[in-house]
Amino acid sequence: MSDLVVIAFPTEAKAEEVRQKLLAMQKEYLIELGDAVIAVKDSKGNIKLNQLINTTAAGAATGAFWGTLIGLIFLMPLAGAALGAASGTLSGYLTDVGINDKWMKETAAAVQPGTAALFVLVRKVTADKVLERLKGEGGTVLKTSLDHTKEAALQAALAEVKAAVPAAPPDLPGV
């Protein structure tokens, strides 16, 4: 079963930093993400979604490939590529993978202008290790499908102040 978590951050940069941390943890098999999207609210109240996957570009590339292939069969590769790219772009633009875009925009409307919300769809997680690495990142949990205990643990980890790492003692000659 997947869990959905929405965390508000004071800046888009901070939300992106946490998303990159989650992606790095995914490479270590500590977490499996279904989606990770950053929603930014500008000063005019407009909401922009920074998707993890650009479905429009992927659709254009796939469409161009298939269009070229079909065009080669019918001896019109350029026309096939152009038609394939156009249809692929359209299908990619209309595709909504992962978290529903409309719902994300409605939810992100609650954040203050100039701030960002990180939407994360989590398929699997090694909770103790992920929470340990998210300690002190800041942010406020806005919405979640987690139970109350897990939600409280996540909020506590985000709010926890990182412990200061003591500096290494200087090398003393002759000691």
**45: alpha, beta or left? (left if phi > 0; alpha if psi -120 to 50):** left
In the chain, list all ranges with CATH 3.40.1520. Answer: 3-52+98-159
Burial 115-139 (b: 16+ CB within 10 A, else e): bbbbbbbbeebeeeebbebbeebbb
Of 114, 93, 97, the residue nearest 39 (C-alpha): 114
pLDDT band at 156 (very low <50, low <70, confident <90, very high): confident
On whether the CB atoms of residues 116 and 12 are closer than 8 A, the answer is yes
Is the confidence at residue 109, as pLDDT, over 80?
A: yes
Rama region for 90: left / alpha / beta (φ>0; ψ in -120 to 50; rest): alpha
Tell me the CATH number of domain 3-52+98-159, given options 3.40.1520, 3.90.550, 2.50.20, 1.10.10.
3.40.1520
Biggest CA-to-CA distance, the chain: 82
pTM for the full predicted model = 0.67
The better pLDDT of the pair 173, 17 is held by 17
Q: Tell me, what's the pLDDT at 154?
A: 83
As a whole number of angstroms, the distance between CA 23 and CA 175 comes to 45
pLDDT band per the 50, 70, 90 thresholds, residue 58:
low
Tell me the per-residue pLDDT of 72-106, one tens digit each, with 9 for 90 and over: 666 666 665 565 555 555 555 544 457 888 888 99
